[in-house]
Chains A and B, each alone.
With several copies, the nearest count.
Chain A
Amino acid sequence: MLERPCIQSRGFKNVESHGKVIGFQVNIRSLYYRGLWLSQLRPATVTVDGETFSGDQITWTINDVTYTQAEMAELGDVHWGLLEPATLTVAKEGGLESGSHEIEVNYTYSCSYFPPVVDTILGGTHKRTLILV
């Protein structure tokens, strides 16, 4: 099952490419009561131990397909379901050290049946301390 918070502890790890650690990954689940089309999402930022990442430093992997945040804005027919955690991959050379890390994830999304003003309000900042082994 998913963990209750937005930020999941399962899936938190460094990622390697060609034998080099190129970043880290953290999984999130949507706390909204319905799934979202990718184009409804506004770009996320991820802050780890005070350092903030944004834009093309972050990709989203949903159902085994990876998207840049720029691509997502155009994808009105790909859906992020409630049972599918999204993997945020954050480009950070060398990754994170083994130990405790303060993670913050921020994003908002549009909701057409609410007044237009909510599109930059729904969602928000989620925080959790995670342990990287």
Chain B
Amino acid sequence: MTNQVGKTKPKRGVSLYSYAGEYGVTMSLEDMFAEMHDMGARGLEILANSHIEGYPNPSEEWLENWDRLIKKYDIVPVEYGHWVDSRLYQGRHLTPEESYEMLVRDFKLANRLGFTVLRTKLGVIDDELTPVENWREFIKLALPMAEKYNVRMCPEIHAPTLLKSKMVDDYVQLIEETGTKHFGLNIDFGVFTTKTIPASEWGPNEFIMPESDHSPVEDIIPLLPYVYCCHAKFVKMSDDFEEMTIPYETIINTLIEHNWDGYMVSEYEGPKKDVPGYAVEQVRKHHVMMKRILGE
């Protein structure tokens, strides 16, 4: 398929999670921004708890440096990863009011840093990753503040969850019931995983995602109106720039066909994150692939 010039298309970005094995040891925040700039990958995802020094109260000096770096490397702040840590205190769950406070604190900071989408990770109560029972309550409570601070809370739909599932239905129901533009979805492309790499490619201390059912790519289509950002999850790029586990060509072409123009932020979750330069090279290869499929 040849992609038409001028047509609305997904855009490229990077989740700094990809560089987790290097951050603080061999790469600084500026190094990661420089990488993005080299790749023409403008869309940025940070994790608040990882990448904001002094979180949740960064210094004025840090904020000024943030503004300088965003400008210098021509970065678009896209998605701000944060958590409602429901098991923050041992022995009990956060109340709706505590969860609300935790959300609003991040709305303000995300807004200050220029982000408009939040990857909002909710606490879970069981092995099926069912969200805490009071999630509707504190999310609804927070919607007016989300509007005020111009942010969209997006739970991440992540394997083993399927796109056709009660969890996704529940989230969509809340959106439709409230008509809100401030709650949506982040789809992690890991839900489309059709292959795995051999276990032998992983190191002894690395977490291997267990195999699970996957969703067909077309299941994303009805959800697209609610999808504000995607995690372009990947596990291994071959030397000829193919991803080995996820049907990228189908995914990206589906997004193009349906005029989805949000950011796909590369999220590397393969082996050897601790080997200096390895994840960096993998992300570069990932962008060579995405650029080719996008016809950039």
Contacts and interface: CB of A to CB of B under 8 A. Distances in A.
A2 B27 CA distance: 8
Contacts, number: 124
A3 B276 contact: yes
Given A9-B284, A35-B49, A112-B84, A4 B274 contact: yes
B122 interface: yes
Nearest to B38: A13
B39 A133 contact: yes
Interface stretch (A51-59, A77-85, A88-96): A77-85
Contacts of A9: 277, 280-281, 284
B89 A33 contact: no
A40 to B, nearest CB: 7
Size band of the interface chain A makes with B: 35 or more
A133 B289 CA distance: 9
Given A9-B281, A10-B34, A112-B123, A98 B292 contact: yes
Interface stretch (B50-58, B136-144, B171-179): B50-58
B41 A4 contact: no
Interface residues of B, number: 52
Interface in B85-104: 85-90
A9 B126 CA distance: 39
Interface string A8-33: 01111100000000000000010001
A113 B83 contact: yes
Contacts of B124: 112-116
B152 interface: no
Contact of B291 (A110, A114, A133): A133
A40 B84 CA distance: 12
A110 B87 contact: yes
A29 B38 CA distance: 17
Interface in B36-64: 38-41, 47, 49-50, 52-56
Interface in B215-245: 239, 241
A71 to B, nearest CB: 13
Interface of A: 1-4, 9-13, 29, 33-37, 39-40, 42, 63, 73-74, 76-77, 79, 81-84, 98-100, 110-117, 119, 131-133
